[in-house]
Amino acid sequence: MTIDMAQFHQVFFDESFEGLDVMESGLLNMDPGTADTEEINSIFRAAHSIKGGSGTFGFTEISNFTHVMETLLDEMRDGRREVTAVAVDALLRSVDVLREMLKAVSADDTIDMDDVQAQQSELEAILNNSESAAPAAGANSAQPAADGAEAITGWRVVFRPLPHMMRTGNDPLRIIQELTDLGDVKVEGDASLLPRLAELDPEECFLSWVITVNEALEKSQISEVFDWVEDDCELSIVPIVTEAVAEQVEAPEVESAVQASEPAQPERRQGERRAEDRRSPVDRRQNDRRSGGGASGSSSIRVDINKIDGLINMVGELVITQSMLSMLGEDFTIDRVERLQDGLAQLERHTRELQESVMQIRMLPISFTFSRFPRLVHDLSSKMGKKIELKMSGEQTEVDKTVIEKIGDPLVHLVRNSLDHGIEMPEVRKAAGKPETGTVHLSAAHRGGNIIIEIRDDGKGLDKHRIESKAIERGLITEEHNLTDQQIYELIFQAGFSTAEQISDVSGRGVGMDVVRKNINELGGSIEIESEMGKGSAIIIRLPLTLAILDGQTIAVGDEIYIVPLVSIIESIQLKPDMINLVAGRGETFKLRNDYLPIVRLHEVFGIESVKTTDLMSGLLVVVEGDGKRCGLFVDDLIGQQQVVIKSLEANYKRVDGLSGATILGDGSVALILDIPGIIRLSSQKYSVADLKQSA
Amino acid sequence: MASEAAVVESGQYLSFMLSGEDYGIDILKVQEIKGWEEVRPLPDTPEYVKGVLDFRGIIVPIIDLRSRFNLTSVEYTPTTVTIVVAIELNGQSHVMGIVVDGVSDVLDVSEGDIRNAPNLGSQINTRYIQGMVNFDERMVILLDLNKLLNPEELGVLDIVS
């Protein structure tokens, strides 16, 4: 009997990615010099199980690579090796490489062995480095003696890639750079085969190089660099002996003169590719995720065992209630109606609890999303030469799994923006009288029925005038616009809008803010910007708590029944004449304790004719809050509270202002769910009520 | 019939009455025919959007075809029916209901029977008329639902970009 190992692959990948996260956060916590054994142990364990797993499943590339990492970690764990910043960095990069490998394997792609090889040799270099310098030197000195009588002072490498080499994923530039790591290297390019621009296929390589390595190395050290391209190029590695040096230098002089002044097309392209490669790994990962998003297909979820136990208990209770009810139903007489009612009440309670537990399963702490940011900030800040501290709070806030999946990319984008455009260089900060280290604060919290995610930095803030002039230049607004500051900030969500003077590979291409907003709107959320020049800015994202069910208060206005989300209701009151004020003769407000709040007549907003009463005294006022604003909704009656399943109006119709969806009531009729912030906006448009109270 | 399956226009059509006229729609688009029942009106919508209804757990908008065609509106009677149809827009399926005076028949229509809609001048819009067919001395107007319930025509659906 053979077992189909593929069925376990998904579990292996899930576990491995989790392991990588553990390794990454462990490495980020590690301070060079001080080895926290516990930390190293947990990193080691993670690496070990990835190695074991990949070995079992036959992913030998992964297990070989992990083995090298493991060796390094093992030495650190035993205290045989010091934990240096270099080693930690190398390990961090190895984690990235490993992640790429796993991702490639899980997507049935081929692994980019170039990256892997480069990283592996880096690790090996660290391993060999301090183990002892002596053996390496010994091998070096032994080699020339064996090779011949003359002292070899260097190597002359003629490297002529075949046109298709770059298609195999090999980059000549990287190979040359790897050579330069070996010591003093002189590179001369030959562009004589370069066709005219019109005939040039940018995917082919027309250049060749003569590389002089002025270092007494072993031949194998050089040929190793070319290991991956051996079959895709013409290669000759010739030793340079002492007396030969003079003539070797002479020969390629002529070509190189031409070459130097005229960087060839493919090379420039490679340069770009390098820049691309140099983008932080997190960056690349994000791209991968975006492109691979649709293909990921089946996904699994890890659930706390307590949640499952709770669920099983609940189902047990439900079964008991059900059997009780069916016994009751077998010989039912009218005098037992009370027991039936009891039973039904119990059934309702259990169903509700069951529903809640099932919803709980989809809820995950937002730390799943936040956990990638320490790494991102670590990488980007060192790359940009900025000092940035990342603070996080509310990581345990639970949100729906869909939100976790969709909010990641927008957040990465926003944090990167904060790092790149928000936080200034240390000198600038110092000159502005701010601490050199900038702070980016990432927080999540439940507030009302929403989850609020905030990215707050103490950088330079948005430059209102720059955005303004840029928008005018692009024709988005005219010179004499009447936009508020808030509306000006919102312009940055326009597609293609960027005020960055210099486009960096981190951000500034003007792609993204529109996508960010789109993603967040898709989740039913909203995004807001607060900013103060010189002080910093904050991006505030509001998302609905769950996407499927809400606790609602059913209200009646005329013949219509609406659902008000319970979380937006502060209280319901009956108005007395002395509470009502008219502002400027028409804006109705009422006094609630010490606040004056506007009255919104729902029947006017929605144009309902069948309304029972227009007399404020005889109806009820539901005091609601949305987007920080409060108002009183004037309704005919309160009917009751119930949980409702949110159904989309947009699926078959369109978004309607003031409504967030619809639901189906017990009698099969449809009730509309009110979107409180939307209604407040609608009514303020209608009456232009300017004095909506801003709550703290 | 089967041999002509490739021809889009031939096939079975559901015919219904509207203000004394016969209309037909592609039967494959019909999901259900149900008696008129009260709908939940939506605020801020065109006159012909009567409201929304629960149809097998989803919320569907209901469009009054009389009002859509600017015909005089009448009291809904026991024969007034809602035809629930599914149309395909931008690769997405949208379910909607249309209110008509009554359904009458299922018609087998072959391609040869279908005549193009006459040009009625600029007064009358024939865009969403697929064709006309004579059936038992009755003239049946075949409607193109995708065009009739198209977002731009109807102005109700946000175009998904």
ipTM for the assembly: 0.73
Separation CA A438–CA A422 (nearest Å)? 9
Structural domain tally of chain A? 5
Residues 6+ apart with CB under 8 A from B61: A652, A653, B42, B49, B51, B52, B96, B97, B156
Separation CA A432–CA A424 (nearest Å)? 10
pLDDT of the residue at B84: 93
- Domain of A218, in residue numbers: 152-267+275-281
Kindly give the residue spans of alpha helices, DSSP state H, lying in A597-652.
602-605
Answer yes or no: is A378 within a domain: yes
The separation between CA A621 and the C-alpha centre of its own chain, rounded to angstroms, equals 43
Domain check: are A356 and A372 in the same one?
no
Separation CA A426–CA A288 (nearest Å)? 32
- CA–CA min distance A259, chain B (Å): 49
Single out the catalytic residue among A170, A417, A450, A519. A417
Closest to A259 (Cα-Cα) out of A181, A191, A327, A194? A191
Q: Best residue in B31, B34, B44 to probe A by mutation, most A CBs within 10 Å?
A: B44
Residues A90, A92, A96, A102, Cα dihedral to 10°: 100
Nearest to A670 among B52, B95, B157 (CB): B52
Domain check: are A373 and A515 in the same one?
yes
Separation CA A72–CA A547 (nearest Å)? 46
Residues A86, A88, A91, A93, Cα dihedral to 10°: -70
Cβ pair B40:A653 closer than 8 A: no
Nearest to A671 among B40, B43, B58 (CB): B40
Domain check: are A214 and A88 in the same one?
no
| Long-range contacts formed by B41-44: CB under 8 A, 24+ apart | B41/A560, B42/A649, B42/A653, B42/A656, B42/A659, B42/A672, B43/A605, B43/A606, B43/A607, B43/A608, B43/A656, B43/A657, B43/A658, B43/A659, B44/A606, B44/A607, B44/A656, B44/A657, B44/A658
Answer yes or no: is A113 within a domain: yes
Q: Is A567 left (phi over 0), alpha (psi -120 to 50) or beta?
A: alpha
Cβ pair A656:B45 closer than 8 A: yes
Collect all residues of chain A within an 8 Å Cβ-Cβ radius of residue B52. Answer: 649, 653, 662, 670, 672
Q: Taking an 8 Å Cβ-Cβ cutoff, which residues of chain A contact chain B?
A: 560-561, 605-608, 647-659, 661-662, 664, 668-672
Answer yes or no: is A139 within a domain: no
pLDDT of B14 over the 90 cut: yes
* CB A656 within 8 Å of CB A673: no
> Mean per-residue pLDDT for B38-54?
86
Closest to A489 (Cα-Cα) out of A432, A446, A530? A530
Q: Which residue has the higher pLDDT, A272 or B68?
A: B68
The separation between CA A403 and the C-alpha centre of its own chain, rounded to angstroms, equals 11
Number of H helices, E strands in chain A: 23, 22
pLDDT of the residue at A686: 59
* CB A646 within 8 Å of CB A614: no
Separation CA A174–CA A303 (nearest Å)? 44
Whether residue A67 lies in the annotated active site? no
Domain check: are A370 and A446 in the same one?
yes
pLDDT of B138 over the 50 cut: yes
Single out the catalytic residue among A9, A15, A18, A48. A48
Domain check: are A555 and A683 in the same one?
yes
Q: What is the 3-state secondary structure (H, E, C) of A406-451?
A: HHHHHHHHHHHHHHHHHCCCHHHHHHCCCCCCEEEEEEEEEECCEE
Collect all residues of chain B within an 8 Å Cβ-Cβ radius of residue A669. Answer: 38, 40, 54
> Mean per-residue pLDDT for B71-98?
85
Answer yes or no: is A224 within a domain: yes
pLDDT of the residue at A92: 85
- CA–CA min distance B149, chain A (Å): 11
Domain check: are A554 and A537 in the same one?
no
Query: Other C-beta atoms within 10 Å of A576: how many?
Result: 11
Cβ pair A670:B41 closer than 8 A: no
Cβ pair A654:B96 closer than 8 A: no
CB of B45 within 8 Å of a chain A CB? The answer is yes
Answer yes or no: is A166 within a domain: yes
Cβ pair A652:B59 closer than 8 A: yes
Read off the pLDDT band of B25 (50, 70, 90): very high
Looking at residue A692, the DSSP 8-state letter turns out to be P
Number of H helices, E strands in chain B: 3, 10
Collect all residues of chain A within an 8 Å Cβ-Cβ radius of residue B152. Answer: none
Whether residue A124 lies in the annotated active site? no
> Position B51: which residue type?
G
pLDDT of the residue at A625: 83
Beta-carbon pairs below 8 A across chains A and B = 71
> Position A564: which residue type?
V
B101's tokens: 């005076």
Whether residue A581 lies in the annotated active site? no
* CB A43 within 8 Å of CB A22: yes
For chain B, which domains are there? 2-160 (2.40.50.180)
Answer yes or no: is A459 within a domain: yes
Collect all residues of chain B within an 8 Å Cβ-Cβ radius of residue A560. Answer: 40-41
Q: H or E segment at A343?
A: helix A337-362
A631's tokens: 């108002």
The separation between CA B146 and the C-alpha centre of its own chain, rounded to angstroms, equals 9
Closest to A423 (Cα-Cα) out of A384, A383, A454, A378? A384
CATH number of the domain within which A636 lies: 2.40.50.180
Answer yes or no: is A297 within a domain: no
CA-based nearest residue in chain A for residue B60? A652
CB of B47 within 8 Å of a chain A CB? The answer is no
Answer yes or no: is A142 within a domain: no
Domain check: are A575 and A682 in the same one?
yes
CATH number of the domain within which A528 lies: 3.30.565.10
Domain check: are A245 and A344 in the same one?
no
Collect all residues of chain B within an 8 Å Cβ-Cβ radius of residue A606. Answer: 43-44
Residues 6+ apart with CB under 8 A from B48: B63, B64, B65, B67, B68
CB of B85 within 8 Å of a chain A CB? The answer is no
Q: Best residue in A654, A655, A672 to probe B by mutation, most B CBs within 10 Å?
A: A654
Domain check: are A517 and A580 in the same one?
no
Cβ pair B52:A653 closer than 8 A: yes
Residues B102, B106, B109, B115, Cα dihedral to 10°: -10
The b/e string for A53-84 (b: 16+ C-beta within 10 A; e otherwise) is: bbeebebebbbebbbbbbebbebbbeeebebe
Q: For A134, list phi and psi in degrees, rounded to 5.
A: -65, -50
Domain check: are A486 and A344 in the same one?
no
Separation CA B88–CA B146 (nearest Å)? 7
Nearest to A670 among B54, B157, B158 (CB): B54
* CB A542 within 8 Å of CB A597: no
State the helix-helix crossing angle for A113-131 and A172-180, rounded to 10 degrees: 10
A126-140, B52-66, B134-148: lowest mean pLDDT where?
A126-140
CATH number of the domain within which A33 lies: 1.20.120.160
Cβ pair A670:B43 closer than 8 A: no
Closest to A103 (Cα-Cα) out of A16, A4, A6, A171? A16
- Parts of chain A with a pLDDT under 70: 1-6, 31-35, 129-151, 241-299, 448-449, 495-511, 545-548, 584-586, 627, 685-696
Domain check: are A370 and A481 in the same one?
yes
* CB A79 within 8 Å of CB A45: no
Domain check: are A510 and A452 in the same one?
yes
Strands B81-89 and B30-35: antiparallel
Residue A685 burial by Cβ neighbours in a 10 Å radius (0-12, 13-18, 19+): exposed
Q: List, as one string, the DSSP characters of A236-254.
A: EEEEEEGGGHHHHHHTTHH
Span A394-425, pLDDT tens digits: 888 888 887 888 888 888 888 888 888 888 88
- CA–CA min distance A199, chain B (Å): 38
pLDDT of the residue at B9: 58
